[in-house]
Structure 1
Amino acid sequence: MHILVATDAWHPQVNGVVRTLTMMADAAERLGVEVSFVTPQSFRTFGLPSYRDLRVALPTPAKIARLIEDARPDSIHIATEGPIGLLARRYCRKHQVPFTTSFHTRFPEYISARLPIPESWIWAALRAFHRPSQAVMAATPALSNELRSRGFRNVVLWPRGVDARLFHPRAVELGLPRPIFLCVGRVAVEKNLEAFLDLDLPGTKLVVGDGPARASLQRRYPHAVFLGSRQGEALAEAYAAADVFVFPSKTDTFGLVLLEALASGLPVAAFPVTGPRDVIGNAPVGALNDDLRTACLSALQISPQACLEFAAGYTWESSARVFVENITNIRNVEPSGETVEFAAETPRVVA
């Protein structure tokens, strides 16, 4: 089986969407499923005015069509609602090819934080984008329920995983006063980092990540330590060097970094909002409190072993298996009820 994923989020971006797609593809290969991608690397791109490091592709319908037809996939999954996702959706609609989508990012909150656009308008646009999808994949039950309550149809669950071979406890010393409270992620307004950096905490506040707000936050919070973007082993070592993982975001749909922290033996401190509440639930691996300082101090008392045992239940192999099953369940069914196939000139979805 060959699945083609259309995505506007891709390397060199460092975010949860990119990590989810690449880790899922690697795990799917071990299940005997080939996953290939249509990404911004095939097109000219431009940097967003308020976020120059985020490159947006400039695809054309003809090139999108050629890339899809050259790939000859058995199924198509559209991962993002950007220009590539829109044109891949257009192609599938034009040729009556069934496709699936996934919901990764709370664009209504993110866009409204930067531009005076009502969230209701953005939710309406997202509903329209996902409406023809045969299955809209969401990371958590709470997000699935929220999407259904907002009028999304065909919502299914697609859980995430963590690479325990990379993220695990090890002895790392940064030479910083302890306890070390770590925050990992994009340094941007929607991540609510000020809620963390404003806290009166003992030890060190450590931030790993980059983004448009980094320079101003470094000036405003000179006592915090900003390490910039880290990946791979360097990122894993940053987790291992800390004592508590702080997640101040109130808008993330899941927060893959939560699993990476827990797999590293770090308890989580966060607000009691959808992302961390869905990941942690009632498990004794985090402290969720509207008072983030209280959550941080409470997390210091949590057993690292409990965090490790909790994270062991999340693997990329199980995540990839659910992803493939979601697609397998619908890939032979076109909205009219007919089976669709790609011929040399026409799209096909093969059994």
Structure 2
Amino acid sequence: MSKSLHITLITETYAPEINGVANTLSRLCDGLRSRGHRVEVVRPRQNEDQLRAVGEDLMLCRGWPIPGYPGLQWGQSSMHKLLRRWQRNRPDVLYIATEGPLGLSALRAARRLHIAVVSGFHTNFQQYTRQYGLGFITRLITSYLRWFHNRSNATLVPSVSQKTELERRGFERLELLARGVDCQLFHPSKRSNFLRESWGLEPGDTAILHIGRLALEKNLGVLKTSFDALVSAYPDKKLKLVIVGDGPVRTTLQQQLPDAIFCGAQRGEALATHYASGDLFLFPSLTETFGNVVLEALASGLGVVAYDEAAAAQHIRHGHNGAVAMPGDEEGFIDSACWMLEDDETLRRVRLNARQHASRQGWTGIIEAFECYLRTASETRDGVVVGM
């Protein structure tokens, strides 16, 4: 039997914060602990931490708010604190999930102490700059991310398309680590007629659902154009647009979509109930490294329309268990949504196939692969990448 590892995870976001990175890291940590490993988490302090005791498996640092992103923060650089901590109790391997000041200080401390590092590419920051009118620094951010990740023993990416794109940009030692979904939590049986009635729907009506962070980089303008096109194409159907989530552009969206239902951020069983109570799921984002919500929607038995990249490219067969459009083809996206509602049998068949596919995408194999990558890195000589 392989020996258990002392693994330190460094991240600037963690549950109960609501985003794909926090959700994924929570799953991976729980999975590693259930397999007998010691997992230490280093992260910024959250509001919920006021009464939390900091121990050998949790180190909290100061956080700074990210402008325009309420509820998310950068972690303060903590190199000397990390050096002292790891000199006293040395980890076998680090997993650095974010590339901000905290992640950078962890990378520098690890290299000084010759501790192996695996990094994760969880967020397309270099694409966000274009959405925020900062395209002039895209090359600079890409250079920094490449420099950062090329100093780890391996960088884990969630999708084949992401791996191909980063290889093209000079990122090295990339490995694929997909994402899973909790198919017991996200299940069609969670459908609630009471919730649907609160949305103003009757049996036979259609809930057009979007779930995710309401931010500029999520391409949410397509929600309005798609919904307007569906209403125009199917005047005899009663359609209701339901948006679950929160974020910096929520107020703007509410002004643009005055008839939509805005449910705010949801967690756990409530989130699963919202998913299952929808019918068609629209996901227009073009900046995802993966997009956990796609798998959650499939598991909940929804007809999913997305662009053909990241999670959708891996998990949706067009016309079988969902519908995809070429990235950036807004007209194709709208056509896919219209096709999904063409007749009741099409949507019913797609939804059944979606659930069947997602039910095979559990976390067990992913956690095993993650453990393998960490163990391989920990066995690298002195934790140093040869030739660097």
Q: What is the TM-score when the length of structure 1 is the normalising length?
A: 0.90
Q: In 1, are the aligned partners of 2:116 and 2:380 still within 8 Å (CA)?
A: yes
CA spacing shift, 1:205–1:68, aligned 2, 3 Å: farther
Stretch moving more, 25-34 or 127-136 = 25-34
Equivalent position of 2:291 in the other structure: 255
- Provide Cα deviations, 1:104-152, integer angstroms capped at 9, x if missing partner: 1110111232242332221111100111111110111221122111101
Equivalent residue for 1:172, pick from 192, 203, 213: 192
CA spacing shift, 1:161–1:95, aligned 2, 3 Å: same
What is the identity, as a one-letter code, of the residue corresponding to 1:107?
F
Equivalent position of 2:8 in the other structure: 4
Stretch moving more, 245-254 or 113-122 = 113-122
Question: What is the distance in 1 between the residues matched to 2:184 and 2:40?
Answer: 24
Q: SS where residue 377 of structure 2 aligns?
A: coil
What is the identity, as a one-letter code, of the residue corresponding to 2:182?
D
Could you tell me how far 1:71 is from its partner in structure 2?
Answer: 5.4
Question: What is the distance in 2 between the residues matched to 1:225 and 1:306?
Answer: 28
Equivalent position of 2:309 in the other structure: 273
Does residue 1:318 correspond to 2:365, yes or no? Answer: yes
CA spacing shift, 1:261–1:71, aligned 2, 3 Å: farther
Question: What is the distance in 2 between the residues matched to 1:34 and 1:314?
Answer: 26
Equivalent residue for 1:232, pick from 255, 265, 268: 268
Question: What is the distance in 1 between the residues matched to 2:43 and 2:313?
Answer: 32
Equivalent position of 1:49 in the other structure: 67
Equivalent pairs, count: 338
List runs of 5+ in structure 1 lacking aligned partners. Answer: 339-351
Question: What is the distance in 2 between the residues matched to 1:216 and 1:337?
Answer: 47
Equivalent position of 1:20 in the other structure: 24
- Provide Cα deviations, 1:53-102, integer angstroms capped at 9, x if missing partner: 22222232222334445654221111111111111001011122221101
Equivalent residue for 2:103, pick from 61, 85, 89: 85
Q: In 1, are the aligned partners of 2:159 and 2:310 still within 8 Å (CA)?
A: no
Does residue 1:105 correspond to 2:141, yes or no? Answer: no
Q: In 1, are the aligned partners of 2:162 and 2:289 still within 8 Å (CA)?
A: yes
List runs of 5+ in structure 2 lacking aligned partners. Answer: 46-59, 232-238
Trace 1:184-333 onto structure 2 (pairs within 5 A): 184-199=211-226, 200=228, 201-202=230-231, 203-281=239-317, 284-289=320-325, 290=329, 291-300=332-341, 301-302=346-347, 303=349, 304-333=351-380
Question: What is the distance in 1 between the residues matched to 2:154 and 2:75?
Answer: 25
Q: What is the TM-score when the length of structure 2 is the normalising length?
A: 0.82
CA spacing shift, 1:336–1:43, aligned 2, 3 Å: closer
Q: SS where residue 268 of structure 1 aligns?
A: strand
Question: What is the distance in 2 between the residues matched to 1:49 and 1:192?
Answer: 19
Trace 1:52-67 onto structure 2 (pairs within 5 A): 52-67=70-85
What is the identity, as a one-letter code, of the residue corresponding to 2:337?
C
CA spacing shift, 1:222–1:282, aligned 2, 3 Å: closer
CA spacing shift, 1:337–1:219, aligned 2, 3 Å: closer
CA spacing shift, 1:7–1:68, aligned 2, 3 Å: farther
**Identity score, percent:** 35
Q: SS where residue 36 of structure 2 aligns?
A: coil
Question: What is the distance in 2 between the residues matched to 1:224 and 1:69?
Answer: 55
More helix by share: 2
Question: What is the distance in 2 between the residues matched to 1:249 and 1:336?
Answer: 37
Q: In 1, are the aligned partners of 2:15 and 2:26 still within 8 Å (CA)?
A: no
CA spacing shift, 1:326–1:217, aligned 2, 3 Å: same
